[in-house]
Amino acid sequence: MNEFLSALPKAELHLHIEGTLEPELMFILAERNRIHLPYASPDLLKSAYDFHNLEQFLDLYYQGTSVLQTANDFYDLAMAYFARCDVEHILHYEVFFDPQAHIRRGISMDIIMDGLTGAQQDAWHHYGASSGLIMSILRDLPVDDALETLKLAKPWQHEIIGIGLDSAEKGNPPGKFRTAFEIADEYGWHRVAHAGEEGPAEYIWEALNELKIRRIDHGVRCVEDPKLVDYLVKHQVPLTVCPLSNVRLGVFPDIAQSNFKQLLDLGLCVTVNSDDPAYFGGYLTQNMLAIQDAFELTQPQWIQLTHNSIDASFAPAERKQALKQRLLSTEVEFQQRASA
């Protein structure tokens, strides 16, 4: 099964590019940009990843972004993740980025976008991997800040596929960003939002009804509301679940006590993702292996989960078909091995 999961052609839909900043690269970029880090080595930095909730994690996360100064830095960050995706057979990825975290440090939108789009182009050329950029709004900053960031993003509106909503969920309901999401709709962007991780099931309803989102990031607390579960199943609204992230941030004490299998058994459109893997200890395949260790899913269940990720993506129809064909080829290969 481990070989099967490693070989599966995959899509990842919930990945924060700043959350892939490994300590080794952080030190390289800090030296390049003459930025002092309060740690003597990458190992000591990694040992400081002792957080127990989202707020503690975000403090460390934003500290790490300080090393991202130039377009080349953003390019190197993205390409490091894209290269890892090639090894893990991740053929399509939709990547969140947080421009507000950089603009407030004096980094322009042009620098961010030049680096990320350059990496996207090279990932397609070198790895044959398709991708999309989703601009996330930091929900713990004022609404006016989000609206100003959308203005700065307008010249890049055709290079960005969606708008998201992330950062500290408690006390920051989705509805207050309705205007921002309406502007993003005018840009032609897809709508997604983090909801139902820290925040209650009501935040999922609010994101659906007020922000008109098409995909829920996390969403694990939907089970608190049976009517919500019925709605999500009926309309097959995707959930981008991040198992290792949920454990590291204290949503669940361990994978075995998570509600991942429950979500799957209820008929929800569940997908597996890695969130901020440099901080949470596992990229996509590692998340899949952790789920397998805890719940012993079957190969057909993993095929369904992978289909879910492809169907829930914002890739063009022809790209989805190509990904499904790769998935089918892998499935047939392993069936032939099993019968040999």
| Identified catalytic residue from 12, 22, 94, 197 | 197
Do 240 and 269 form a contact (C-beta atoms < 8 A)? no
Residue 275 is given by DSSP the state B
307 vs 118: CA distance, rounded Å: 28
**Paired tokens of 284:** 């996509």
Angle between helices 317-339 and 299-312 (to 10 degrees): 170
Phi then psi dihedrals of residue 5, to 5 deg: -65, -40
Closest CA to 160 of 72, 83, 90, 96: 96
Question: Is 307 annotated as belonging to a binding site?
Answer: no
Do 271 and 312 form a contact (C-beta atoms < 8 A)? yes
Residue 5: count of CB within 10 angstroms of its CB: 22
Question: Is 275 annotated as belonging to a binding site?
Answer: yes
Cα 114 to chain centroid, rounded: 20
Q: Tell me, what amino acid is at 136?
A: S
Question: Is 158 annotated as belonging to a binding site?
Answer: no
Q: Is 165 helix (H, G, I), strand (E, B) or coil?
A: strand
User: Is 197 a residue of the active site?
Assistant: yes
> Which residue numbers belong to the known binding site?
14, 16, 194, 275-276
> Which residue numbers belong to the known binding site for substrate?
276
> Which residue numbers belong to the known binding site for Zn(2+)?
14, 16, 194, 275
Q: Which residues are the active-site residues?
A: 197
